[in-house]
Amino acid sequence: MIEAALAKIRLRDDLSAEEETAILGAIGEVVSLPARHTFVHRGVRLSYSTVLIDGMLARYKDMADGQRQITHVHVSGDFPDLHSFTLKYLDHSLMTLTPSRIAKVPHARLEEITKKMPRLTRILWFATNLDASIHREWEISLGRRTAIQRAAHLLCELQARLQVVGQADASGFALPITQAEFSECLGLTPVHVNRVLRDLREAGLCEFRGGRVSIGDLAGLRATAEFDPAYLYLGRRDEA
């Protein structure tokens, strides 16, 4: 059920049978959600966190003038709101970008893990630290990278993260979102994003069409983005 989440943990840490049983035992209700559905609203008190079983989610904030900024894209296996366990409500909202399934993890069960299994608590804590690392990289994109670098960097990031759960390879991956939603990730207008995607296509680096990113030159795309995957911490942590 949460194989992708377990695969992400095993990529970086050993997971004992007892720890895996504890994670599986913490799972409560599993919910299927339609695309573009907000299921966590800013400021609303929460009694559970969620694991994304499959699909794509967006973390976002709305502006008073109706504009929206997407601040993170979550993929299968992510724990997008684990921090609500300590915060109790979020300063942002979570919505599905595609039809998705989530598993609810009651905070009471997370409380039991923190009391009884300190090593597993540290493993889960890593998820929030990784989110923070990704947020810093997005901040750099919004503040310093050029438009084409922003787009290329996000595509490189998604390719690397999706590859961990078997949903991408060097030739590309599914990205069933609109160009408008992609522009909300980049802080650019849809018209500007359309030009950037044309430039990437004409350079033979990648093409984003029909809900799929086809990569023609992954090394070239990474060079354009100046992409260094170190911030994703994809290796074993005991070997770092």
**pLDDT tens track, the chain, 240 positions:** 799 999 999 999 999 999 999 999 999 999 999 999 999 999 999 999 999 999 999 999 999 998 999 999 999 999 999 999 999 999 999 999 999 999 999 999 999 999 999 999 999 999 999 999 999 999 999 999 999 999 999 999 999 999 999 999 999 999 999 999 999 999 999 999 999 999 999 999 999 999 999 999 999 999 999 999 999 999 987 754
**Residue 120 confidence (pLDDT):** 96
Domains of the chain (ranges, CATH numbers): 3-127 (2.60.120.10), 145-239 (1.10.10.10)
| pLDDT computed for residue 1 by the predictor | 79
Q: Structure pTM?
A: 0.96
Identify the burial level of 81 via C-beta atoms within 10 angstroms of its C-beta, where 0-12 means exposed, 13-18 middle and 19 or more buried.
buried
Closest CA relative to residue 134, chosen from 169, 142, 211, 16? 142
In this prediction, residue 240 carries a pLDDT of 45
What is the three-state SS of the chain? CCHHHHHHHHHHCCCCHHHHHHHHHHCCCEEEECCCCEEECCCCCCCEEEEEEECCEEEEEECCCCCEEEEEEECCCCCCCCCHHHHCCCCCEEEECCCEEEEEEEHHHHHHHHHHCHHHHHHHHHHHHHHHHHHHHHHHHHHCCCHHHHHHHHHHHHHHHHHHCCCEECCEEECCCCHHHHHHHHCCCHHHHHHHHHHHHHCCCEEEECCEEEECCHHHHHHHHCCCHHHHCCCCHHHC
